[in-house]
Amino acid sequence: MHRFVMALGLTLLASSAALAALPPQYQRQAELLAIIGDSAVIDAFEMEGIDAIEMIDTDQFEVRGGGCVLDVRIVDTPGDHAPGWVGPREFGVELGQLNCPNAGN
């Protein structure tokens, strides 16, 4: 009986961290919403607007609109939580350089 209780406790402890993260499809949705909701991303494209967002690598996206491309990274933000805290990933949006090869043509 003692072994069963120990095994159950270890199983619950190991699974608690896994339950804290968002499922991949919801994590991606949260990342995309953060990108399109970021005022600096919107401002970068001015009146042209965003035409497409493509994931090019883990935490790396290309945002396109009006002949311009903006690299955007998802970066972890430090949380102010007690040790042992579990929960969904806390992150922010970091913009790269806006590249407009066809601008002015």
CA 95 to chain centroid, in Å, comes to 13
User: Per the domain annotation, does 5 fall within a domain?
Assistant: no
Q: What is the mean pLDDT of residues 10-28?
A: 63
User: Per the domain annotation, does 69 fall within a domain?
Assistant: yes
Q: Which of 61, 66, 92, 62 shows the shortest CA–CA distance to 77?
A: 92
User: Per the domain annotation, does 8 fall within a domain?
Assistant: no
Question: What is residue 15's predicted lDDT score, i.e. its pLDDT?
Answer: 42
Question: What is residue 24's predicted lDDT score, i.e. its pLDDT?
Answer: 87
Q: In what order do the strands lie in the sheet with 52-57?
A: 52-57, 60-65, 68-76, 91-99
Q: What is the mean pLDDT of residues 74-96?
A: 87
User: Per the domain annotation, does 43 fall within a domain?
Assistant: yes
User: Per the domain annotation, does 30 fall within a domain?
Assistant: yes
Q: What is the mean pLDDT of residues 18-29?
A: 77
Question: What is residue 19's predicted lDDT score, i.e. its pLDDT?
Answer: 45
Q: 24 versus 35: which is more confidently predicted? A: 35
Dihedral over Cα of 31, 33, 39, 42: its sign: positive
User: Per the domain annotation, does 47 fall within a domain?
Assistant: yes
Look up residue 81 and give its amino acid.
H
Which pLDDT band, with edges at 50, 70 and 90, does 5 fall under?
very low
Instruction: Please say if the pLDDT value at position 54 is more than 80.
Output: yes
Domain that holds residue 73: 20-78+89-99
Structural domain count of the chain? 1
Q: Which two tokens stand for residue 73?
A: 């990274």
Question: What is residue 20's predicted lDDT score, i.e. its pLDDT?
Answer: 58
User: Per the domain annotation, does 1 fall within a domain?
Assistant: no
User: Per the domain annotation, does 4 fall within a domain?
Assistant: no
